[in-house]
Chain A
Amino acid sequence: MTASAPAVEERRARPLRGILQRNGWTLGLLGFLVVLLVFTKVIQPSYGVSGIQGLAIAVLPLALAAAAQAVVVIAGGIDLSIGSMMALTSVIAAARMDDQSAEVGVTVVVLVLVIGLVLGAVNGALVVVTRVPDIVVTLAMSFVWAGAALLVLRTPGGGSVEWLRDLVLGPFGNEWIPRAAIVLAVVVAVIWIPLQRSRLGLSFYAIGSNQLAAFRSGVSVGWTKFLAYVVAGLFSALAGIMLLASTGIGTPVPGPYTLLSVAAVVLGGVSLAGGRGGLVGPVIAVVILSLLRTDMTFMRLNTNLATVAQGVILVGVVMLGTFLTLRRKAE
């Protein structure tokens, strides 16, 4: 999945096999998702257009949160403040957009994205400058951002401009294609693809897999780590805006997004040790997690068992991952 040098050579020699090998986990997830969709249709024959639409809208904010987490984890860190950054950015947007014109809405979106960059920059700067473990810094900053969100809006309120809601609600052309899915694909592609192919993207993977080696090959470790958090801030702000767009209201209390984003990243094949994975895997993992929850309601199982299942899947996948790594080492 990573674009490391040997992989590049292999891609030239045996293109198809290289692609399969590098994206094995993502393709596996995609296969599982298809099976799950078929399964859903079997147990609930009425599952169709509205189901897919609802799924896409529910998935959108969490998928962007997972993307944010993935960038930081690839660079060898972790960001426990993503849920709080989402809450802060979405209440700022909700408070400023309420009953405003479409033009003001555009300004607010731009402003909120800039705020997201700033929040990420503060996280990153603190991690790099204080040299305190990133878990501690981002955990502490999650208090700070959540507190700031409560200062902006004490109770759920505010609103979204009309065009933002229209951007994600409803179908795009064909009724089977939800707008939310298009938005997700475009946003992730526009930010991630150029980034991954740039020098900076390669540096993310480099410092994630081996900081010392990266340093000795001339990567500025501190700067790169800082920028990883900045990108995560941008994705979190996007997630916050999409949260507002899909619910139509700003909620100051952070949802379970931070923890679910970690779960999605692990499921999505990004190693918590850093340096491996991409953004597509985590996004697919978010869809799977969300669909599993839906299926459990269809099967008239207690929805709380879905929470249990999420935990079991999260732990199970990591155990499997460790097991495979250990076996590879043994060989």
Chain B
Amino acid sequence: MTNATATVERNRWLTAAGWRSLFRDRPVIPLIVLLGLLVVVSELVRPGVVSPGWAGVILRTAVPLAILAGAQTLAMLTGGIDLSVGAVASMSGFVVATLVGGPGLGVAIAVAVAAAALAGLVTGIGVGIFKVHPLIMTLGMSFVVLGLANVWQLQMVQTGSGVPAEFRSIGSTLVFGVVPYSLVVFVPIAALILFSLRRTGYGRLLYAVGDNPIAARLSGTRPWQVLILLYIVTAVLAAIAGFLYSGLTNTASVTLVDTQVLPSVAAAVIGGTSILGGRGGFGGSIVGALILTVATSLLSSLGYPEAVRQILFGAIIVLVAAAYTRVTSEG
């Protein structure tokens, strides 16, 4: 009996099918192995670089990216994509920086989150009710948000602006030089997303809508409600990431987070979330964000220019996505 089970267990690790099912069902495990390899390589090429302080800096950089990747993951689970996260995040950070001097931090945050949620609501209505392709809808929304943020910028030139000290400390402080303070924000959010996706009805609905929208509708779901709420959630997540980015970089600019949109998609794709919907999860995206951050730091420590980093990022995304496509279609 025990013997037979052991054989089965061993076979699972020996056969190609076993590996495929591992990649398919638990992509987080191979990803963590990949992350570990990257850390080892970092240590090998620059002995002594890997230290608790280094890990803290990596985490601090990865946290806002992971939040953006979380927003992206949720959108991708329904078969969508949110290209407006960059514009919404930048706008939110900027709005807070311009308002904090006047009405105070609380009001500033409330206004920024409300503005983000409004953008998300409009996106959700477009995608859910008017059936605009999410790529187009969020692209259009990013133009709208960027333009309005620029208008706001011109209005606010006189009052001056500055990133609030609270954001700076949350975004960039390392407690004991190791633990990033931003985990205070990140851990509850991550726990909430992970829990909702696995254990709540709404999480299941995201998968259902992405996997087969017609089946979801026929079984009584109203996809438009799911989608409207989804895009409000992604916009609010983007706003939070925007706060952290403005604190991390100590800058308030209406285009601050634009460069992070593609990495957020990359993190989700590397993490095993299918852009076609219905497959994936947030755990993989967190590891994906960490992998991208470690890879970035590795490349810059090797003295490679930004250009090489971009080329490798692109190549990694294609390779990983191709690997996923292979294991999921043949398994």
Which residues of A pack against B, CB within 8 Å?
78, 126, 130-133, 135-137, 139-151, 154, 259, 262-263, 266, 272, 302, 304-312, 314-315, 318-319, 322-323, 326
Across the interface, do A131 and B329 meet the contact criterion of CB distance under 8 Å? Answer: yes
Given contacts A133-B276, A318-B136, are A304 and B310 in contact (CB under 8 A)? no
Whether, in the assembled complex, B170 has its beta carbon less than 8 Å from a beta carbon of chain A, the answer is no
Complex partner residue of A306 from B147, B265, B312, CB under 8 angstroms:
B147
Across the interface, do A141 and B318 meet the contact criterion of CB distance under 8 Å? Answer: yes
Residues on the B chain within 8 Å of A323, using CB: 130
Given contacts A130-B318, A131-B325, A322-B130, are A311 and B311 in contact (CB under 8 A)? no
Known: A130-B325, A310-B140, A318-B132. 12 other contacts (CB 8 A): A78-B135, A130-B321, A140-B318, A141-B318, A142-B314, A143-B314, A262-B139, A302-B151, A304-B147, A308-B151, A315-B137, A318-B130
Residues on the B chain within 8 Å of A312, using CB: 140, 144
Residues on the A chain within 8 Å of B265, using CB: 136, 139
| Contact code string B96-135 (vs A, CB < 8 Å = 1, else 0) | 0000000000000000000000000000001000111101
Interface centre among A136, A306, A309, A323 (most CB of B within 10 A): A136
Assembly CA distance A133 to B268 (angstroms): 14
Given contacts A136-B275, A304-B151, are A147 and B318 in contact (CB under 8 A)? no
Whether, in the assembled complex, B184 has its beta carbon less than 8 Å from a beta carbon of chain A, the answer is no
6 smallest A-B Cβ distances: which pairs?
A311-B143, A147-B310, A307-B147, A143-B314, A150-B307, A308-B147
Assembly CA distance A133 to B324 (angstroms): 11
Main secondary structure, interface of B, reads: helix
Whether, in the assembled complex, B230 has its beta carbon less than 8 Å from a beta carbon of chain A, the answer is no
Residues on the B chain within 8 Å of A154, using CB: 305, 307
- Nearest-neighbor residue (CB-CB) of A126 within chain B: B318
Across the interface, do B310 and A311 meet the contact criterion of CB distance under 8 Å? Answer: no
Given contacts A139-B262, A140-B317, A148-B311, are A315 and B132 in contact (CB under 8 A)? yes
| Contact code string B278-306 (vs A, CB < 8 Å = 1, else 0) | 00000000000000000000000000011
Q: State how many angstroms separate the Cβ of B217 from the closest Cβ of chain A.
A: 15
Q: State how many angstroms separate the Cβ of B37 from the closest Cβ of chain A.
A: 21
Residues on the B chain within 8 Å of A135, using CB: 81, 135, 275
Across the interface, do B137 and A137 meet the contact criterion of CB distance under 8 Å? Answer: no
- Nearest-neighbor residue (CB-CB) of B254 within chain A: A304
Q: State how many angstroms separate the Cβ of B91 from the closest Cβ of chain A.
A: 12
Whether, in the assembled complex, B154 has its beta carbon less than 8 Å from a beta carbon of chain A, the answer is yes
Residues on the B chain within 8 Å of A315, using CB: 126, 132, 136-137, 140-141
Interface centre among A308, A311, A314, A318 (most CB of B within 10 A): A311
Assembly CA distance A151 to B269 (angstroms): 26
Residues on the B chain within 8 Å of A259, using CB: 139, 143
Across the interface, do A147 and B321 meet the contact criterion of CB distance under 8 Å? Answer: no
- Nearest-neighbor residue (CB-CB) of A137 within chain B: B318
Main secondary structure, interface of A, reads: helix
Q: State how many angstroms separate the Cβ of B148 from the closest Cβ of chain A.
A: 6
Q: State how many angstroms separate the Cβ of B125 from the closest Cβ of chain A.
A: 10
Across the interface, do A136 and B269 meet the contact criterion of CB distance under 8 Å? Answer: yes
Across the interface, do B329 and A319 meet the contact criterion of CB distance under 8 Å? Answer: no
Given contacts A132-B325, A139-B265, are A307 and B130 in contact (CB under 8 A)? no
| Contact code string B42-76 (vs A, CB < 8 Å = 1, else 0) | 00000000000000000000000000000000000
Residues on the A chain within 8 Å of B237, using CB: none
- Nearest-neighbor residue (CB-CB) of B312 within chain A: A147
Q: State how many angstroms separate the Cβ of B144 from the closest Cβ of chain A.
A: 4
Residues on the B chain within 8 Å of A126, using CB: 318, 322
Assembly CA distance A19 to B137 (angstroms): 31
Whether, in the assembled complex, B209 has its beta carbon less than 8 Å from a beta carbon of chain A, the answer is no
Across the interface, do A319 and B313 meet the contact criterion of CB distance under 8 Å? Answer: no
Q: State how many angstroms separate the Cβ of A36 from the closest Cβ of chain B.
A: 19
Whether, in the assembled complex, B21 has its beta carbon less than 8 Å from a beta carbon of chain A, the answer is no
Q: State how many angstroms separate the Cβ of B235 from the closest Cβ of chain A.
A: 15
Q: State how many angstroms separate the Cβ of B278 from the closest Cβ of chain A.
A: 13
Assembly CA distance A8 to B263 (angstroms): 47
Whether, in the assembled complex, B146 has its beta carbon less than 8 Å from a beta carbon of chain A, the answer is yes
Assembly CA distance A148 to B317 (angstroms): 16
| Contact code string B160-200 (vs A, CB < 8 Å = 1, else 0) | 00000000000000000000000000000000000000000
Residues on the B chain within 8 Å of A309, using CB: 147
Residues on the A chain within 8 Å of B126, using CB: 315, 319
Residues on the A chain within 8 Å of B307, using CB: 147-151, 154
Assembly CA distance A130 to B176 (angstroms): 46
Whether, in the assembled complex, B266 has its beta carbon less than 8 Å from a beta carbon of chain A, the answer is yes
Whether, in the assembled complex, B234 has its beta carbon less than 8 Å from a beta carbon of chain A, the answer is no
Given contacts A262-B136, A307-B146, A318-B136, are A144 and B310 in contact (CB under 8 A)? yes
- Nearest-neighbor residue (CB-CB) of A321 within chain B: B132
- Nearest-neighbor residue (CB-CB) of B81 within chain A: A135
Assembly CA distance A326 to B210 (angstroms): 21
Residues on the B chain within 8 Å of A132, using CB: 318, 321-322, 325
Residues on the A chain within 8 Å of B135, using CB: 78, 135, 262, 272
Assembly CA distance A135 to B314 (angstroms): 13
Q: State how many angstroms separate the Cβ of B23 from the closest Cβ of chain A.
A: 15
Residues on the A chain within 8 Å of B322, using CB: 126, 130-132
Q: State how many angstroms separate the Cβ of A240 from the closest Cβ of chain B.
A: 17
- Nearest-neighbor residue (CB-CB) of A308 within chain B: B147
Interface centre among B305, B309, B317, B325 (most CB of A within 10 A): B317
- Nearest-neighbor residue (CB-CB) of B305 within chain A: A150
Whether, in the assembled complex, B308 has its beta carbon less than 8 Å from a beta carbon of chain A, the answer is yes
Q: State how many angstroms separate the Cβ of B104 from the closest Cβ of chain A.
A: 27
Complex partner residue of A314 from B140, B151, B316, B325, CB under 8 angstroms:
B140
Across the interface, do A322 and B318 meet the contact criterion of CB distance under 8 Å? Answer: no
Given contacts A131-B329, A140-B314, A322-B132, are A308 and B309 in contact (CB under 8 A)? no
